[in-house]
Structure 1
Amino acid sequence: MITRHFIDVPRTDGSARRVHYRRCGQGQPLLMIHQSPRSSAEYAAVMQAWGAHFTCIAPDTPGFGQSEPLAGTPDINDFADALIDLMDALGLERCPAYGFHSGGIILVTALKRHPQRFTGMAVGGYAIWTPAEMAIFGESYLPPFQPSAYGEHLTWLWNRMLEQSWFFPWFDVRGEARLPGAHADVARVDQAVREMLESGDAYRAGYGAVLRAPRDIPAADAVVPPVLISAYFGDPLQAHIDRLGPLPAGWQAQKVDTPADHHQASLDWLLALPPVPAAGLVETPHEGFAHVVSAGFDGLVHWRGAVGETATVPAPGGAISLITGAGIDPPGHGLSDDWPAAAPTDRTVWDAVFAEVQRLRGFAGFDFEPITAGDPHHLYPDLTPDRFGSHLTRAWSVVRAGAFFRPRHQPSAANAIAFDSTAIAPDRLAAKHLALLQARSARAYHAAYGRTDGP
């Protein structure tokens, strides 16, 4: 099972930076760094496979997923040092590591600056850009990503993520830039879109630091831990294997046929490295994920707050990302897992899950947000991802209408509600939009309680 955790990483000024990470497996630790602009969620399948051999620890890098960004305009050294700070906080004195694309750039930079912290690495693709390629990226690759009043940014985002498997770079729509692995995999595109929505404009700092990083590897005579760099057919970085030049002793680079071949070569390489002690679990006491097994639910429930506090439970379609203070995301909402089967509409089942969260976390009780009266099928329309990304703009229209009318699906003078300009500020709508997209069980939750004054 993949578990999820938050940890507070100390800063030099005495404050702390919140980092989210996923963990799976047993035995010696393996640090896994994702590509940009993704999150550790992209490693779920690999972690479950490699967890038979390692305790896989996959953090969201700063500014991505659920991890706080670094301050200012960080460069690649800042991201590498932030990784070392995280290792310190986790108690990882020395361990192997795996990274894909920009995750590999961060890892190799960390290895060059702190070689004693790694037993070795496996890297999926390592970019060696030419000056002409860098110029292209600098002009167009990282446009600002700001929410717009009517959701126009969502149309751009869907197509940007969709077409990055068609062309590389994604905006270079020439025959010479076409990729052999083009797809229209709705689930894959939707996952990447959601991760981008989590990062927002912060994606430019992390991705930009990688693109601006020096494209060098350690000199051939450098004394550094062993590294395998491999890339499969269809990966735009496979051609860069030929650009690497002389490698340090113990390093290898190879082209492989498929992603499965890359993963197998990486795993074999990592298993051949010197073993290190198993890693203990370190996490903050202020926020996390409770593993709840109750009344047909078996999954993680996201919580925030201290023992003895009263925690807020958001209304259907909401999330604790929209509130301050202690709270929990109901199953099928926010960062909490979905119900294993169809979400129940029986209130006693939901009550049992909430009671188990209270027992596990020691909350004094729950304060349930009021539930808007109405038909849940109209209040929470079908937002199943489709080939053209129309679910994104549909959800945006729903939350925008909710600022003007109650119920939001009946826009009439009789249902108009008072509002101020902050209610339709794009950033505020964006937060509610993401929460609605995450609310996979909103209809069932509403049907279970279905009162205007809350449970």
Structure 2
Amino acid sequence: MTVDGRRLHYIRQGNGPAIVMLHASPCSAKVMSDLQLRWGAEFTTFAFDLPGFGLSQPPDGHITIPVLAEIIIAGMRALGIEQAALYGRHTGASVCLEMAVNHPAMVSMLLTDGLPIFAAPYTDERLAQYLPPIEPRWDGGHLTWAYFRYREQHMFWPWDYSVLEHRADADLPDVQFLHRGAVELLEAADTYAQTYQAAFRYETLPLVDKVDVPVFWGNRPGDSQFKTIPRYPAAAPIHVMDRDPKIALEQELELLRLHKAAGVVPDYFSGFEASALPMSLEDYIVTRHGCVRVIGAGLQRDGVPLIFLHDLPGGIDLHREEIERLAEDRPVVALELAGNGESFVASAPSHAIWLEQIEDVRTTLGWGEVALYAHGTSAALALDFAGRHADQVGELILRSPPVLSADERALFSAQYAPDITPSEDGGYLLRLWHHLRDQELWYPHFRRDHASRRTAPPRIDPAWLTRRAVTLLKQPEHYAPIWQAVLGHDLGAALGGISVPVRVIVDPSDIFAGTAAGLASGSVPAAVSE
């Protein structure tokens, strides 16, 4: 959704009275997934990405807890949530406290998990030490820094005081948890300090006695705020939860049952289902295989609408400039296919699933004839869809498709992509980084000799490579399998059997531009090239 011109992202799950859930820093709403899965059996849970984290954009100006609270309140109103129980961790707990104090009619109860209470205010100098800038490095070192920075905060508090006196009384989370946190920190690299600092500057204790709704101040052994329990007012209703998160979420659920929110929780519907669409829109569309994230641009323009298919593996955030350029004279929607970016699927993503998702998106939009634009490795998908739905596709535009020989397909499918399954040592991050970088320097990337040097200007700016890495690391388990699948298609044969008009364009910087050069009917406009 959009609040005050800025994107505010949330994850909705379950049915029943509303619970609004706000995460700690430097995470996103994904950290609430286990709670949403369990609590969703009885409640409609709304886990928001705090502005500056996840997919929520930060507001203009200085970020404070009151500013964040008003944004979430505005989000609740936009969703039609009349009242909700509030649940917050750390930074999220501070925001929930502010919401409860200033908007009690919209709050049925407040439950915190580790409300931040500090013995003394953090100075600007201390915050600069605690929240250093995350600057992309040519060698990918910032990826492993983020991983071990997030790991360190579960071993020491504060994370940058690695001495015995500051050793955390906590279990080290598993590698999947650490991976998620590291990716979320990298995703918010440009904005995390702005939001994070707000929690350190916000004084919570003076507000504890000003809460007029039912409240439960939760704390857990092993949490950095557990030691602050003696600082609460004597009459404060403190609840000590179990150290085990699985037991703690059941204890929290028992408290949430005591004061359920009143009012109706509106059913979900995608913004793309509206009878009149705005010029631009970002939302999800429900398909047979789960929700897919969709970007729409130029939606009020005339012309044959275009469905944009991103590079595989990949995501739509990597093509925003290209999507906007294509939408200058027609409506365009770009869908993030299952197993990529923010589009998750219960089973392994597949060509068959993607075909059905394209059709579901087209049906939801009510579009008749469309054009398909396939970037790079999504060409086989576009060709297959057009072959099955020739009456619905008026044109195919393929950008630098990988037209490979049988020998190349066999070779590339076997060894093109590394395994980037998260590992304790963080080495998978550098494997991905140098795979992305080497693809720009050699073709194929695994033949690192002088004859295989690429002659196009390499796209190895660390900031650009970081954008790609973050997108791909959101679902690392699918990275190598998707590469293997998309490089196994015989595009030459598929092109020979298609009845829909096809236009091939190339950008010399694209990885597979050389394989498609003989088929090209044009080049990529400078404004579209990335």
Pairing 1:353-392 to 2, within 5 Å after superposition: 353-362=357-366, 364-371=370-377, 372=402, 373=404, 374=408, 375-392=412-429
Tell me the distance in 1 between the aligned counterparts of 2:76 and 2:228: 30
- Supply the RMSD in Å over aligned alpha carbons: 2.5
CA–CA distance in 2 between the matches of 1:176 and 1:311?
Answer: 57
| Structure 1 counterpart SS, 2:60 | coil
Equivalent residue for 1:229, pick from 208, 217, 228: 217
Kept in 2: contact 1:25–1:54 (CA 8 A)? yes
Tell me by how many angstroms 1:418 deviates.
3.6
Amino acid across the alignment from 2:262: V
TM-score, normalised relative to structure 2: 0.75
1:93 alignment counterpart: 82
- The aligned amino acid for 1:240 is T
In 1, the alpha carbon distance for the partners of 2:319 and 2:208 equals 51
1:292 counterpart (287, 295, 298): 287
Q: Which residue of 1 aligns with 2:460?
A: 424
Match of 1:256 in 2: 241
Once the two structures are TM-superposed, the CA of residue 137 in structure 1 deviates from its matched residue by 4.8
> 1:350, CA displacement in angstroms?
4.4
Residues 223-267 of structure 1 deviation map (CA, whole Å, 9 limit, x = unaligned): 6112101111111211111111245xxx51122332344323322
Q: C-alpha displacement at 1:276, in angstroms?
A: 0.7
Aligned to 2:430: 393
* AA at the equivalent of 1:337: F
Matching residue's letter, 1:41: K
Q: How big is each residue's C-alpha offset from its partner over 1:302-354, in whole Å with a ceiling of 9 and x where there is no partner?
A: 2222676312212222211111223122221122214604x44xx55643443
1:65 equivalent in alignment to 2:54? yes
Given residue 390 of structure 1, which amino acid in structure 2 is its aligned partner? Answer: G
Q: Does 2:344 align with 1:304?
A: no
- Choose 183-192 or 281-290, whichever is displaced more: 281-290
Q: Distance in 2 between matches of 1:130 and 1:275?
A: 34
Larger radius of gyration: 2
The separation in 1 between residues aligned to 2:426 and 2:211, in whole angstroms, is 49
- Residue 411 (structure 1) shift: 2.9
Cα-to-partner distance string for 1:388-439 (whole Å, 9 max, x where unaligned):
1111111111111222223333333333334447x22221111122233346
The gaps in structure 2 that reach 5 residues or longer are 273-280, 324-332, 378-401, 492-514, 520-530
Contact 1:8–1:284 (CA under 8 A) maintained in structure 2: no
1:132 to partner: Cα distance: 7.5
- Are 1:228 and 1:266, in contact at CA under 8 Å, matched by a contact in 2? no
Structure 1 residue 407 corresponds to structure 2 residue 439: no
Q: Contact (CA 8 Å) 1:302, 1:336: kept in 2 or not?
A: yes
Matches within 5 A, 1:439-450: 440=478, 441-447=481-487, 449=489
Amino acid at match of 2:2: D
1:318 partner letter: G
Alignment of 1:158-169 (within 5 A): 158-169=147-158
- Cα distance in 2, alignment partners of residues 95 and 435 from structure 1: 32
Looking at structure 1, the residues matched to 75 and 153 of structure 2 have their Cα atoms a distance apart, in angstroms, of: 31
Q: Distance in 1 between matches of 2:461 and 2:469?
A: 12
1:118 Cα deviation (Å)? 1.2
Separation in structure 1 between the aligned mates of residue 490 and residue 482 of structure 2, nearest angstrom: 11
How high is the TM-score relative to the length of structure 1?
A: 0.87
Pairing of 1:12-411 with structure 2 (within 5 A): 16-131=5-120, 137-183=126-172, 185-218=174-207, 220=209, 222=210, 224-247=212-235, 252-258=237-243, 259-273=245-259, 275-280=261-266, 281=268, 284-285=271-272, 286-293=281-288, 298-305=289-296, 309-324=305-320, 325=323, 326-338=333-345, 340-341=347-348, 343-344=349-350, 350-362=354-366, 364-371=370-377, 372=402, 373=404, 374=408, 375-411=412-448
SS at match of 2:283: strand
Aligned mates of 2:490, 2:201 — CA distance in 1: 52
Deviation at 1:103, TM superposition (A): 0.7
Q: Which has the higher contact order (CA 8 A, sep 6+)?
A: 1
How many percent identity over aligned positions?
27
SS where residue 200 of structure 1 aligns? coil
Q: Deviations over 1:147-190 (max 9, x none)?
A: 11111111211111122211111121111111232326111111
Q: Which moved more, 1:227-236 or 1:365-374?
A: 365-374
Change (3 A) 1:348 1:218: closer
Which residues of structure 1 form unaligned runs of 5+? 1-6
Amino acid at match of 1:384: T
> 1: CA distance between counterparts of 2:211 and 2:375?
59
Distance of 1:264 and 1:227 partners within structure 2 = 17
Aligned residue-pair number: 431
8 Å Cα contact 2:270/2:284 also seen in 1: no
Answer with 129-138 or 174-183: which moved more.
129-138
| Residues 21, 88 of structure 2: 8 Å contact kept | yes
Tell me which moved more, 188-197 or 407-416: 407-416
CA contact (8 A) 2:51 2:58 kept: yes
1:37-64 deviation digits (Å, cap 9, x = unpaired): 1111111111111112211111111111
Matched residue, 1:3: none
- Kindly state the Cα deviation for residue 204 of structure 1 after the two structures are TM-superposed: 0.6
